[in-house]
Amino acid sequence: MRFLGLLFLVSILPAAELPRIWDDEALKDWATPIAALGVRPGHYSAAEYYAIPGDNLKTYPVYHPNHEPKGYWDWLQKQKPQPLVDAAKIRSARDWATAGERAFEDLDNLLFRTADPKLIARARDPEAFKNAYLLPDGSIIGNRWVVTEQGVMLSERECSLCHVHFDPNGKVHFGGPAGVEPAGPTDRNPAGVDLVPLAYTRFFPGDTFLQALWRSYTVPWNPDPRVEALKEKLTHPPGALFVGDPGTFARFHGSPWAQTKVPDLRVIRYSRYIDATATHRMRGAEDLARYAAFVNGADPMTFGPHEILTPEQRQIRVRYADEVLYAIGVYLMSLDAPRNPNPAPKSLRDAGQKIFQREGCVTCHTPPNYTSGKLTLAQGFKPPADHPYAEDIVHLTVATDPELALRTRKGTGFYKIPTLRGVWTRTRLLHDASVASLEEMFDPARLKPDHVPGGWKGPAGDRRGIPGHPFGLSLTAEEKRSLLAFLRSL
Ligand code: HEC
Ligand code: HEC
């Protein structure tokens, strides 16, 4: 018995142990060199990172005032701060994943927290909830309450604010691909109270909102006049600059003119790199944990000799506890694409599979993962022979819009080959979400300059061709039908 008990312990211990997330050794070769500079972006040392305390606080739903359960507000005032992830209760990898699901869905952005009585009152006023998308319990996607030592604060969801998928029945799946589901709900305004401007000026202390916006995207070694103009005046509504389409967001280091698709995190396990341009390696749960920290302030924004932030802004000011980050990493690694419950008839899928092979799709979207995990070159990029990822580089370009991969601070020079698993759930395709369906993707008309992209069009909503990825563009109608049937079964 004792022996069996010991075996049991040995089998669960390694997975239950909490690794140190911000680890100097692991960070050394984590970020990908910027193509134009040939250097990896800088990062905080573990000593700098751990010099501030880690946050680990449970958050609570903000309900549409007409749906708030009776007595909820008073009950909330009486709660004591609780950990979002309680590491003491975790015994196995499964426990980490379960805790991680809660953390991924409920995590709030530390820079959004506010005790401002005016904002709190607004979050309880039905006026602020017009067109808000309601979850089945009557709560909203945007704001969350956080019980802190200083009392109840208003905040906003972090990961799940963007990583939210609506299926055709209008059901919400956090972590799934963002975008517009034709048959889904049309009103999906996430937030009751918009805390973004507040968070921006906190993230970039000393900056006006416009300066903060400019700083998010400016590229000192290759300035884009459209980004530089933002310092002086808002050239487009903030909505179009951040979220030009329900499926995109212009993250720090990207650009409002080269937005990125909010991708399906349920298939991240098939990636060897993170982000469309492979900005970081993806070696497992710990790298995903690091990435969650990175997008939340663990980022000094230094690129060789170029510093984006002022000395005051370059100090790390917030971080999540390691157990919160690791739980999220383990959870994301545990996910997989859902199977299509209504696949096309087998004969059609089989015919499609043959076309998939015949057209050479398999060389890049290689089964069984439907990606080789490798990196293609953005049009115009020649990587040095001694590039650290030389083994993973396919010396081919699919010639999609090279702007993100060459001109932004996400500019590694690469586009990773995405997995096609679960592609049937995506309503936005390509790194910039410009394509809205598989039909559009394999329609040669999308190449023409007068095409109106079904997905992201650019901040000005322009007509433009969607270049590149020329594969499968000259199929007959029948061949296309079978190829799509096959793709929708993956
Ligand atoms: C403001 C919107 C937003 C928030 C908040 C957000 N993400 Fe993302 N996320 C994105 C976008 C957009 C991308 C694509 C970036 C790119 O390709 O360069 C992305 C990419 C990713 C990727 C890479 C996926 C892939 O296929 O390479 C991971 C992993 C990820 N996010 C995890 C998280 C986690 C964990 C959180 C919470 C800590 C989070 N994100 C918060 C918008 C967001
Ligand atoms: C040379 C490698 C290569 C070949 C061959 C190739 N692809 Fe791709 N595919 C890519 C890359 C790289 C992307 C992402 C490009 C981007 O985002 O800019 C992509 C994107 C896609 C997407 C969009 C996925 C998404 O979520 O954005 C689909 C669908 C797709 N490919 C299907 C196919 C099919 C079907 C074939 C064959 C007819 C094929 N591909 C051939 C490399 C390839």
pLDDT tens-digit series, residues 431-441: 999 999 999 99
Of 357, 342, 346, 487, give the one whose Cα is nearest residue 423.
487
Exposure of 358 in the CB half-sphere (CA atoms within 13 A): 13
Lowest mean pLDDT among 178-182, 292-296, 401-405, 457-461: 178-182
469 CA distance to ligand 2 middle (Å): 6
User: Which residues form the domain of 231?
Assistant: 22-334
Q: pLDDT tens digit string along 389-428?
A: 999 999 999 999 999 999 999 999 999 999 999 999 999 9
The Å distance, Cα 418 to ligand 2 centre, comes to 7
User: What's the rounded mean pLDDT across residues 178-205?
Assistant: 73
Residue 429 Cβ < 6 Å to ligand 2 = yes
Query: ω before 237 within 30° of 0 (cis)?
Result: no
Looking from the CA of residue 264, the nearest atom of ligand 2 is 26
- 318 and 400 in a single domain? The answer is no
Mutate to test the pocket of ligand 2, among 358, 426, 435, 471 (most ligand atoms within 8 A of CB): 471
Best of 165, 267, 425, 469 to mutate for ligand 2, by most ligand atoms within 8 A of CB? 469
10 Å Cβ neighbour count for 452? 10
Residue 294: pLDDT band (50, 70, 90) is: very high
Whether residue 4 is contained in a domain is answered as: no
Does the pLDDT at position 482 exceed 50?
yes
Do 423 and 406 touch, CB atoms closer than 8 A?
no
CA of 30 to the centre of ligand 1 (A): 17
Confidence band for 344, pLDDT divided at 50, 70 and 90: very high
Residue of 217, 259, 265 to mutate, ligand 1, most atoms within 8 A of C-beta? 265
Minimum mean pLDDT among 155-169, 339-353, 414-428: which range? 155-169
CA-nearest residue for atom 13, ligand 2, is: 417
CB atoms near residue 439 (< 10 Å): 13
Q: Is residue 10 part of a domain?
A: no
Ligand 2 pocket, residue 355 CB under 6 Å: no
What are the angstrom distances between the C-alpha of 386 and each of 301, 348, 390, 411? 25, 45, 7, 18
Q: In this structure, are 268 and 376 located in the same domain? A: no
Contact 27, 290 (CB under 8 A): yes
Using CA atoms, how far apart are residues 236 and 224, in angstroms rounded to an integer?
A: 15
Q: Confirm whether 75 is domain-assigned.
A: yes
Last residue of a domain, one of 334, 369, 384: 334
Q: Is the pLDDT of residue 184 over 70?
A: no
> What pLDDT does 376 receive?
98
Q: Find out whether the beta carbon of 162 lies less than 6 Å from any atom of ligand 1.
A: yes
**Ligand 1 neighbourhood includes 323 CB (under 6 angstroms):** no
pLDDT tens readout for residues 253-286: 999 999 999 999 999 999 999 999 999 999 999 9
Is the separation of the CB atoms in 126 and 68 below 8 Å? no
Question: Is-contact 424 490, C-beta < 8 A?
Answer: yes
* Domain co-membership, 370 together with 290: no
**Is the distance from the beta carbon of residue 260 to the nearest atom of ligand 1 less than 6 Å?**
yes
Asked whether residue 444 is assigned to any structural domain, the reply reads yes
Question: Quick check: is 16 in a domain?
Answer: no
Coil/strand/helix, residue 337: coil
- Identify whether residues 83 and 219 lie together within a single domain: yes
Q: Is the pLDDT of residue 5 over 50?
A: no
Q: Answer whether residue 4 shows pLDDT above 50.
A: no
pLDDT tens per residue, range 130-150: 878 889 999 998 899 999 999
Residue 180: other Cβ atoms inside 10 A: 17
Q: Do the domain assignments include residue 190?
A: yes
Tell me whether residue 9 is in a domain.
no
- Categorize the per-residue pLDDT at 186 as very low, low, confident or very high, splitting at 50, 70 and 90: very low
- The secondary element (H helix, E strand) that includes residue 322 is helix 322-334
Domain total in the chain? 2
* Residues 312, 366 within the same domain: no
Average pLDDT over residues 482-486: 98
| Span of 126-130, 165-169, 179-183, 356-360 with lowest mean pLDDT | 179-183
Query: Cα of 470 to ligand 2 centre, how many Å?
Result: 9
User: Which atom of ligand 2 is least distant from the CA of 423?
Assistant: 26
The last residue of a domain, from among 266, 299, 334: 334
| pLDDT given at position 189 | 63
Residue range 339-364: mean pLDDT, rounded: 97
Q: What is the mean pLDDT of residues 288-311?
A: 97
Distance from residue 333's CA to the centre of ligand 1 (Å): 14
Q: Provide mean pLDDT across the span 298-314.
A: 97
Strands 375-377 and 302-303, how do they pair?
unpaired
Burial of 10 from C-beta contacts in 10 A (0-12 / 13-18 / 19+): exposed
Inter-CA distances, 63 with 68, 70, 123, 148, 163, Å: 5, 11, 9, 19, 20
CATH of the domain at 368: 1.10.760
> Does residue 381 lie in a domain region?
yes
Same domain assignment for residues 421 and 311:
no
The per-residue DSSP string of 135-155 comes to: -TTSEEEEEEEEEETTEEEEE
For 440-468, the pLDDT digits (tens) are 999 999 999 999 999 998 877 777 899 99
Instruction: Please report, to the nearest 10 degrees, the dihedral formed by the alpha carbons of residues 427, 429, 432, 433 taken in order.
Output: -20
Same domain, 246 and 389: no
Residue 416: phi, psi to the nearest 5?
-75, 155
Do residues 263 and 365 share a domain? Answer: no
Least confident segment among 185-199, 283-297, 374-388:
185-199
Q: Are residues 298 and 417 in the same domain?
A: no
| Residue of minimum CA distance from atom 43 in ligand 2 | 364
Read off the tokens for 365: 């979207």
Q: Tell me the residue type at 467.
A: P
Contact 143, 154 (CB under 8 A): yes
Tell me what pLDDT residue 239 has: 78
| Residues 183 and 268 both lie in one domain | yes
CA 416–ligand 2 middle distance (angstroms): 9
Closest-CA residue to 105 (of 324, 367, 400) = 324
Residues 353 and 272 in one domain: no
Q: CB of 288 closer than 6 A to ligand 1?
A: yes
* Structure confidence at residue 6 as a pLDDT band (50, 70, 90): very low
Look at residue 328 in the predicted model and tell me its pLDDT.
Answer: 98
Q: Between 43 and 185, where is the model more confident? A: 43
Q: Is 200 in the pocket of ligand 2 (CB under 6 A)?
A: no
Task: For residues 435 and 299, state if they share a domain.
Answer: no
Task: Choose the final residue of a domain: 300, 334, 368.
Answer: 334
Average pLDDT, the chain: 92
Nearest Cα residue to 64 out of 150, 129, 137 = 129
User: Is the full-model pTM beyond 0.75?
Assistant: yes
For range 228-232, the mean pLDDT: 94
